[in-house]
Amino acid sequence: MESANHLNQQEYGAIERAPLPRNMIENSMFEEEPDVVDLAKESPSYHIDSDDVTYEPRSSRLLVRGLGENDMDEDEEDYESSARLLGMSFMNRSSSQRSAASSYTCQQPSRSCSTLSTKTTAVGVLILVLVVSMFMVIYFVPSCTFTKKGCQKSNSSMGSIYPISTSGELFPWTDLRLPLSVHPVHYNISLHPDLNSMTFQGNVSIVVKVLHETKNIILHSSDMNIIKVTFEDKEYRFLEYKPWQQIAIKFPEDLKKGQYVLKISYKANLSNSYDGFYNSSYVDTAGTKRVLAATQFEPLAARKAFPCFDEPAFKSTFVVKMTRDAKYISLSNMPKIKTTDLNENGLQEDEFESSVKMSTYLVAFIVAEFSSHSKNVSKTTVSVYAVPDKKDQVHYALETACKLLVFYNRFFEIDYPLSKLDLVAIPDFLAGAMENWGLITFRETTLLVGNQSSPFDKQLVTSVIAHELAHQWFGNLVTMRWWNDLWLNEGFATYMQYMSIENVFSNLDIDIEFLNVRFKALAKDALNSSHPVSAFVSTPEQVEEMFDSVSYEKGASILLMLNATLRDGEFRKGVIEYLQNYNLSNTESKDLWNSLSQVSKQSLNVSEMMNTWTVHKGFPLVTVKRSGTQVTLSQEHFLLNAENGTDDSLWHIPLTYVNDSCSVLRSCKQVFHLKDKADSLQLPGQVKWLKFNFRSDGFYIVHYDEQGWSDLISALKVDVNVLPSEDKAALINNIFALSRLGKVSFRQVLNLMEYIRNETETAPLTEALSQLGQIYRLLDKRSDLNLASRMTTYIKDHFGSLMESQSYEVETSVSKMTLRSALLETACALKGPNCTTQARHLFDQWLASNKTLQIPSDLMRTVFKVAAQTDEGWSELLDSYKHSIYDTEKRKMLEALASTQDVRKIIWILQKSLDGSEIQNQEFPLVIHTVCRDFAGYLYAWDFMKENWEKITQKFPVGSFAIQSIITSTTSQFSTKTHLTEVQNFFSSLGAKGSQMRIVQEAIETIKQNMRWMEKNLKTLQIWL
């Protein structure tokens, strides 16, 4: 999946990096991670009264709403109390046990194997829990537990006090995870959605294999009305335990090993939220409302469309049949075999080929009125689908997907296995894109571009396509066994996205974007609220929260570091071996490391090194002290808010460095493996300076002694080209981070910044603007007008001549457009007269041309933002927003509309985007983010979020990326005690579901960090700005 944050990726000058990821379209970021032991497993040890057990994962209740449930409030109170009762670990996470939790990855061969980390603490806790549970079990269990034929003996390690199902009977399973005794082999799914009543009927026939004798079949089902269950053509009753979205079919006798057929028929509503089998609508250019139905299953929503074994390791084959009205088309993962006329009111049934073996979250189907263009490449027909009005905007995506498919086929040495690949732009879609096998779904913004689009706009579309295509191998062909290793999917797809674009579309200058992504990942991972790359997850909310910066961006960053450390070609060789070994099956992190270790036997123990990067949260700060040719190195955890003292995490760091005699070419790079807390290295000769972390390929921050910093700064002042641009950007990034940590004074930061007047390269300039912009906005939000205006002067002084020298003509280099966009957006935001005049001039020309003039795409947002500050400009933009069919432009118009300083307009746009009436609901996170950037809106946005919290969480599930983005936008610019208290009070007033969210911990930590920074640096700013 791709989170929706990509959509901010080209913001620089005026943006804060730390709070909002630019790249991820999918999800979360921040703190906290679960307890070592899944406390939910203990729940059966307590006697739970059925009245108490109303815990329902939030996302499921969104679907229930579609089925007519209305009293959310009561439900939510129940949710809290029962979650407390159940001891749900999501509600009960303790950061102190975090490091021990990380390597819990047990799943096979039996649920009873709790392979906790080797750390003794974890083992200790496990033993303790087992002892307690044994006691509870002996005390409470029904007698069946210990009989040979008893209650799931082979599967249930903990509990045998069963929850109460909906009917009042005992539900025969006691774990959020399904038993392993029964595996699905094949599904036949027949669906008939009715797009008038927004309901659907379904029949699913599942061939199951009984591996261990059992009296029960347990599978997932959520928010559906099950009409009939048959097993081997005999009807059976079923039990449902809604809190865990499970149903059970109980048999009087043990089922013998063998293959059977389970059939379930059911009815449900098409979902009103963005997951499951959901309904979406849009208004076409003729003003007619059109409806469609599409799916979004990852991570846990396939169970909302058909009863299934909804865990990634239960791979199976699928045949989908779709009944639809003749005016629609239907699409699914596989090619269509045939269409049958049903002779009932013009209904037709499409049948699709049997799928490859895959996980449930990758199943997809769509019923809509779409147009497409296709092309054959290798042995695959690639098609891009969009609503008819936008059918001319699919060509770039089609060409791009074909080129990337050829690249990946060659790179992985395994051909994409299906004969077709559809890419579909869905009008209302919350994620950025979703890699369903053979049927990738996108937001319109991430797939469609007009013919006139610049490479600047194409960069986003290319990135998202490259990401989703990489998933066809990483994720679809080889899948993580459980969501704790989500990074295997997402980190890899993110890394491959940059690598493939660098190879196939070198004109897109994607390296600058990837560098920013690494900086962003560092900023997130520096917080105490971060979590290890591979972290224990159990509850639905924990699974949702895994779609975050750590899984995606840190995952990609550590893969880059590994590739840069291995010898040429080894990384690819190991990856190919991994894909071949685990083709169509499931893996854990260690499987990848083992494959890579095998190819790099002589040079590096990959498992040993990489484990240190996946089991600890955070990253190391490397401190370098040089005395002549003797260099001492030490590492410690870079933790911005080390309130509980430092921990003793150690990383195996492949430290790279260059010196003054050779510093630009890759061949200059030297490597030293720092595995201990401290070590030293002897240089062969005298050097003037050393720069560590060559090209910022490594995921760590470097601090030098005073002499080390000043040698580097002097070298840059003498010759700005003495280092590659990534290294210069990293020096800027690191020194700001070190100043936040209190390791360097702000005066030193400003000292480094002096060199920037001679800088012309995009990466260091945009990094500097981004860092200064963050500080400016904090000062602005504190109403420290004096310092804010001095910061404005400082920025103009250091960047003014570059700002003035920018043209307003069409530009073709993406790197130059990125820089120009950052410079001019800042210049206009700071009301630089030349910039605002030029912007107004371009806007007037655009109006005069009846909106046909092409404003250079990298300048469009800046131009529109300036224009939106007048009533007339704002109205013109709103009118264009409503009528434009070009989504890239529309988004820029929307950002401009949301940047207004007029409070009435701010209120209007917040309300409209939340209720989805005139502004698409999917854009609410972007709207609130934009409103929060300026002084006029940010306090109002905070109040708006508080007042509308219930409504917001009905639309966007708790833990989802959208919620994370909303909370970050509204809180990350507070830097006073009053605001801290207010944020704390608000979220604690929500009870466990509010205050325990990882993003809330991150928000609080960020405010505290802002306060500390201000306390420490206000004086310096007063003196030195």
Q: Which of residues 562-591 bind Zn ion (CB under 5 A)?
A: none
Beta carbon nearer to Zn ion, 552 or 799: 552
Q: Which of 351, 444, 468, 726 is catalytic?
A: 468
Beta carbon nearer to Zn ion, 264 or 469: 469
Least separation, in Å, of the C-beta of 55 and Zn ion? 29
d(CA 394, CA 401): 11
Beta carbon nearer to Zn ion, 29 or 795: 29
Q: Which residue among 1, 302, 387, 962 contacts Zn ion (CB under 5 A)?
A: 1
Could you say whether residue 517 binds Zn ion (CB under 5 A)? no
Least separation, in Å, of the C-beta of 200 and Zn ion? 27
Q: Can you read off the two tokens belonging to residue 470?
A: 């990489």
Cβ-contact 803, 768 below 8 angstroms: no
* Spatial CB neighbours of 345, under 8 Å, sequence gap ≥ 6: none
Q: Of the listed pieces 401-409, 487-495, 582-590, 973-981, which binds Zn ion according to CB under 5 A?
A: 487-495
Beta carbon nearer to Zn ion, 222 or 497: 497
Distance of CA 144 to the CA centre of its chain: 44
DSSP assignment of 827-858, as one string? Answer: HHHTT-HHHHHHHHHHHHHHHHTTT-S---HH
Q: Of the listed pieces 43-51, 168-176, 485-493, 758-766, which binds Zn ion according to CB under 5 A?
A: 485-493
182-194/317-325 β-pairing: parallel
Q: Which residues of 691-727 are buried (b: 16+ CB within 10 A; e: fewer)?
A: bbbbbbbbbbbbbbeeebbebbbebbeeebebbbbbb
Least separation, in Å, of the C-beta of 380 and Zn ion? 20
For the window 87-126, what string marks contact with Zn ion as x by the rule CB under 5 A? ----------------------------------------
d(CA 477, CA 484): 18
Least separation, in Å, of the C-beta of 471 and Zn ion? 6
Beta carbon nearer to Zn ion, 6 or 153: 6
Could you say whether residue 219 binds Zn ion (CB under 5 A)? no
First to last CA, the chain: 44
Q: Of the listed pieces 104-112, 175-183, 493-501, 765-773, which binds Zn ion according to CB under 5 A?
A: 493-501
Beta carbon nearer to Zn ion, 547 or 799: 547
Least separation, in Å, of the C-beta of 2 and Zn ion? 5
d(CA 885, CA 887): 6
Beta carbon nearer to Zn ion, 83 or 537: 537
Cβ-contact 823, 769 below 8 angstroms: yes
Q: Which of residues 161-180 bind Zn ion (CB under 5 A)?
A: none
Cβ-contact 354, 318 below 8 angstroms: yes
Q: Of the listed pieces 1-9, 189-197, 313-321, 800-808, which binds Zn ion according to CB under 5 A?
A: 1-9
Beta carbon nearer to Zn ion, 1 or 768: 1
Q: Which residue among 20, 136, 247, 493 contacts Zn ion (CB under 5 A)?
A: 493
Q: Of the listed pieces 68-76, 101-109, 271-279, 488-496, which binds Zn ion according to CB under 5 A?
A: 488-496
Could you say whether residue 431 binds Zn ion (CB under 5 A)? no
For the window 390-419, what string marks contact with Zn ion as x by the rule CB under 5 A? ------------------------------
Beta carbon nearer to Zn ion, 157 or 463: 463
Q: Of the listed pieces 66-74, 83-91, 354-362, 486-494, which binds Zn ion according to CB under 5 A?
A: 486-494
Say which DSSP state 60 is in.
H
For the window 29-48, what string marks contact with Zn ion as x by the rule CB under 5 A? --------------------
Q: Of the listed pieces 483-491, 682-690, 791-799, 929-937, which binds Zn ion according to CB under 5 A?
A: 483-491
Distance of CA 694 to the CA centre of its chain: 27
Least separation, in Å, of the C-beta of 963 and Zn ion? 19
Could you say whether residue 477 binds Zn ion (CB under 5 A)? no
Q: Can you read off the two tokens belonging to residue 286?
A: 């003729």
Is the bond preceding residue 109 a cis peptide, omega within 30 degrees?
yes
Order of strands across the sheet that contains 670-674: 670-674, 653-659, 690-692
CB atoms inside a 10 Å sphere around CB 850: 7
Least separation, in Å, of the C-beta of 1 and Zn ion? 4
Q: Of the listed pieces 139-147, 361-369, 484-492, 868-876, which binds Zn ion according to CB under 5 A?
A: 484-492
Beta carbon nearer to Zn ion, 6 or 303: 6
Helices 606-615 and 555-565 cross at an angle (nearest 10°) of 160
Q: Can you read off the two tokens belonging to residue 996?
A: 């325990």
Phi, psi of 469 (to 5 degrees): -65, -40
Beta carbon nearer to Zn ion, 493 or 772: 493
Could you say whether residue 421 binds Zn ion (CB under 5 A)? no
Across-strand partners of 548?
Answer: 28
Say which DSSP state 550 is in.
I
Say which DSSP state 165 is in.
P
Could you say whether residue 499 binds Zn ion (CB under 5 A)? no
Least separation, in Å, of the C-beta of 25 and Zn ion? 8
Cβ-contact 695, 723 below 8 angstroms: no
d(CA 228, CA 30): 44
577 is catalytic: no
Least separation, in Å, of the C-beta of 550 and Zn ion? 14
Q: Which residues of 435-471 are buried (b: 16+ CB within 10 A; e: fewer)?
A: bbbbbbbbbbbbbbbbeebbbbbbbbbbbbbbbbbbb
Q: Can you read off the two tokens belonging to residue 529?
A: 């609220």
Least separation, in Å, of the C-beta of 5 and Zn ion? 12
Residue type for position 53? V
Cβ-contact 404, 465 below 8 angstroms: yes
Could you say whether residue 715 binds Zn ion (CB under 5 A)? no
Cβ-contact 815, 456 below 8 angstroms: no
Q: Of the listed pieces 294-302, 482-490, 721-729, 998-1006, which binds Zn ion according to CB under 5 A?
A: 482-490
Could you say whether residue 814 binds Zn ion (CB under 5 A)? no
Across-strand partners of 874?
Answer: none
Least separation, in Å, of the C-beta of 922 and Zn ion? 18
Could you say whether residue 701 binds Zn ion (CB under 5 A)? no
Beta carbon nearer to Zn ion, 7 or 53: 7
Could you say whether residue 496 binds Zn ion (CB under 5 A)? no
Could you say whether residue 488 binds Zn ion (CB under 5 A)? no
3-class SS letters over 307-362: CECCCCCCCEEEEEEEEEECCCEEEECCCEEEEEECCCCCEEEEEECCCCCECHHH
Beta carbon nearer to Zn ion, 421 or 1025: 421
Could you say whether residue 604 binds Zn ion (CB under 5 A)? no
For the window 894-913, what string marks contact with Zn ion as x by the rule CB under 5 A? --------------------
Residue type for position 222? S
Number of residues that bind Zn ion (CB under 5 A): 3
Question: What is residue 1012's three-state secondary structure?
Answer: helix
199-210/258-269 β-pairing: antiparallel
Q: Can you read off the two tokens belonging to residue 221?
A: 């089902």
Could you say whether residue 1021 binds Zn ion (CB under 5 A)? no
Least separation, in Å, of the C-beta of 885 and Zn ion? 27
**How many CA atoms does the CB half-sphere of 752 hold within 13 Å?**
28
Looking at 687-761, list the stretches that DSSP marks H as alpha helix, in order from N- to C-terminal side.
706-718, 725-741, 746-753
Least separation, in Å, of the C-beta of 149 and Zn ion? 44
List, by residue number, the catalytic residues: 468
Summarize as ranges the residues that interact with Zn ion (CB under 5 A).
Answer: 1, 490, 493
